[in-house]
Structures are given as C-alpha cells and as structure tokens.
Amino acid sequence: MADITLTRNHALGVDEARSRADAIVAELKADLPNLLDSVSWDDGGTNATFTGTGFDGAIALTDSTATISVELGLLTRPLKGAVSGKIEARMDQHFA
C-alpha cells in the first residue's frame, strides 16, 4: 500500500495529462535533485514507475484522472509531509 496517494480529476485527455505529468516530474527533479533517480513510462504512455533514494512510486493517467502514488522507505518516512506537499502543490497547479 502506498504511503502517499494523490488523485486529481481533469478534462484534458491522456496526451495533455501525460505532458503535464512530465512537467510535474521535471519540477520534482529540480526540487529534489538527489532523491528522484529515474522515471519509466509504459508503451501507451499512461502508466509510469519512478524510483528514488528511499522511495518508489507510480503515475497512472486516464482520460479523466491523474494519480501519483509513492511508497516511502524507512529513512524517508519522516519526510512524508514535505514530499506529499510538493506533489500536491504540483498536481494542483497542473491539473486544476
């Protein structure tokens, strides 16, 4: 079970949602350069997995929702509020 799961509804379609999800990932990489290591999208471009120092996560996109889930490692659990806040702010910005 994920430690952080955030979902936003949208009316953007999958392609635009993917573009906005890519922007969120780029911003998180800039904010947390030593934590976010890699992101890998599936062939359809609707699901991704990402890894970082002390966490793993997933992005799932549909025509109407965008969901980001993060599982925190033992050492990153104390940062849950900060990590969740950064992701939530970015999702609100890009999917509002």
Position 88 scores a pLDDT of 95
The whole domain housing 66 covers: 4-95
Torsion, Cα 51 55 56 57, to 10 degrees, reads -110
Domain count, the chain: 1
The CATH code of the domain that includes 26 is: 3.30.160
pLDDT value at residue 65: 97
Position 29 pLDDT exceeds 90: no
Cβ atoms < 10 Å from Cβ of 92: 11
Taking the CA of residue 19 as centre, how many other CA atoms within 13 Å lie in the half-sphere pointing to its CB? Answer: 4
pLDDT at 51 over 80: yes
User: In the numeric block, which tokens belong to residue 13?
Assistant: 């379609």
pLDDT value of residue 40: 94
Q: How confident is the model at residue 85 (pLDDT cuts 50, 70, 90)?
A: very high
Buried b (16+ CB within 10 A) or exposed e, 58-79: ebebeeeebbbbbebeeebeeb
